[in-house]
């Protein structure tokens, strides 16, 4: 057996993989938060609730309509994304002229409502979601056995994160989006429908959260608290990375997941708090965040 720093190799790699998976969720969620914050100037507190909703929609699709995992991976983000678009049009758009804090408070209330409704309907014990047959089993990588589904989650998250980054940085749509983030009235003067752009951005950010939710469904049990368990850590991730950069959110998300995984190997008691400790260090050394722009 390989030993690394006195730790059995498989244990180390196993925790690293778990860390990468958590990191994948941190990355996808903080990415969505960053994109939404850039355009709407609100912190979407309901992000965790909508992540949970994505997992539930996938479960409901399977349970009532018999729609399997892979179609759900497309359908659930679409459904939840449309829900997000409706929310933005009917409620959130009323707040743009107010202090940013009201957006935070409103979406906090929204998350309470959504979580409460799901708790009423499905209880809080959690519902199992089966890993699809294709992704069952494990692969021997030589140094460790990797459960196929976990490998898939990391891969899918990477692909989605990098595509989002490419869309924002390399396409003309992304260029318009970045321009509108910098100076919305000017972009509107050039004939771009900025309110629609804002709505679609919110919908896309929500769809990203829902996509993460579907990926998470087979790993964690589908339960109403799964989002709020994540979202507090994701806020710390956002503070560490700073919201200025898309790539920064992705790197910070994965990086902190790995740090958390390593902490679980070397000092398990601190694994729940290590992200917050990193946040404290970053606040002391570089208050604007690792990738943040100066305020």
**Distance between CA 166 and CA 247 in Å, rounded?**
10
Nearer to other proteins, 9 or 287 (CB): 287
One residue of 28, 73, 80, 110 binding other proteins per CB under 8 A: 110
Q: What is the dihedral of CA 62, 63, 64, 70, to 10 degrees?
A: 0
**Distance between CA 33 and CA 121 in Å, rounded?**
27
Q: Is 220 in the site for other proteins (CB under 8 A)?
A: no
One residue of 134, 155, 272, 293 binding other proteins per CB under 8 A: 272
Name the segment binding other proteins (CB under 8 A); options: 157-165, 179-187, 235-243, 245-253.
Answer: 235-243
Which ranges in the chain belong to alpha helices (H)? 9-40, 47-60, 69-90, 100-122, 148-170, 172-182, 184-189, 194-216, 226-241, 246-266, 274-285
Subset of residues 90 to 109 that bind other proteins, contact rule: CB under 8 A: 91, 94-95, 98, 100-102, 104-106, 108-109
What SS3 class is residue 138?
strand
- Residues forming a β-bridge with 140: 145
CB 33 within 8 A of CB 231: no
Nearer to other proteins, 108 or 165 (CB): 108
Interface characters, 18-37, with other proteins (x: CB under 8 A): -------------------x
CB 104 within 8 A of CB 45: yes
Tokens (6 digits) for 159: 């692909």
One residue of 60, 238, 246, 265 binding other proteins per CB under 8 A: 238
- Cβ 233 to other proteins shortest distance, Å: 7
Nearer to other proteins, 114 or 154 (CB): 114
- Interface ranges with other proteins (CB under 8 A): 37, 43, 91, 94-95, 98, 100-102, 104-106, 108-117, 119-120, 228, 232-233, 235-236, 238-239, 269, 272-273, 276-277, 279-280, 283-284, 287-288, 295
């Amino acid at each position: 057996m390989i030993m690394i720093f006195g730790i059995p190799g498989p244990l180390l790699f196993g925790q690293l993989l778990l860390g990468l998976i958590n990191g994948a969720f941190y990355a996808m969620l903080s990415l969505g938060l960053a994109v939404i914050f850039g355009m709407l100037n609100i912190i979407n507190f309901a992000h965790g609730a909508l992540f949970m909703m994505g997992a539930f929609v996938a479960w409901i699709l399977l349970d009532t309509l018999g729609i399997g995992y892979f179609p759900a991976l497309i359908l659930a983000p679409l459904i939840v994304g449309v829900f997000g678009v409706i929310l933005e049009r009917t409620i959130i758009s009323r707040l743009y002229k107010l202090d940013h804090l009201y957006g935070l408070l409103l979406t906090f209330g929204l998350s309470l409502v959504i979580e409460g409704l799901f708790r009423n309907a499905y209880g809080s014990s959690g519902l199992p979601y089966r890993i699809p047959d294709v992704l069952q089993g494990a692969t021997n990588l030589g140094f460790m056995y990797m459960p196929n589904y976990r490998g898939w989650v990391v891969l899918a998250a990477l692909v989605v994160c990098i595509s989002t980054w490419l869309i924002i940085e390399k396409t003309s749509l992304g260029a318009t989006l970045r321009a509108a983030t910098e100076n919305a009235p000017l972009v509107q003067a050039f004939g771009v429908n900025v309110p629609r752009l804002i709505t679609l951005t919110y919908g896309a950010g929500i769809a990203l959260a829902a996509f993460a939710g579907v990926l998470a469904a087979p790993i964690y049990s589908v339960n109403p608290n799964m989002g709020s368990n994540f979202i507090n850590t994701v806020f710390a991730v956002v503070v560490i990375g700073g919201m200025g950069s898309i790539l920064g959110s992705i790197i910070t998300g994965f990086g902190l997941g790995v740090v958390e995984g390593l902490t679980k190997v070397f000092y398990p008691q601190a694994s729940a708090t290590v992200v917050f400790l990193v946040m404290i260090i970053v606040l002391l050394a570089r208050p604007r965040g690792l990738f943040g722009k100066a305020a």
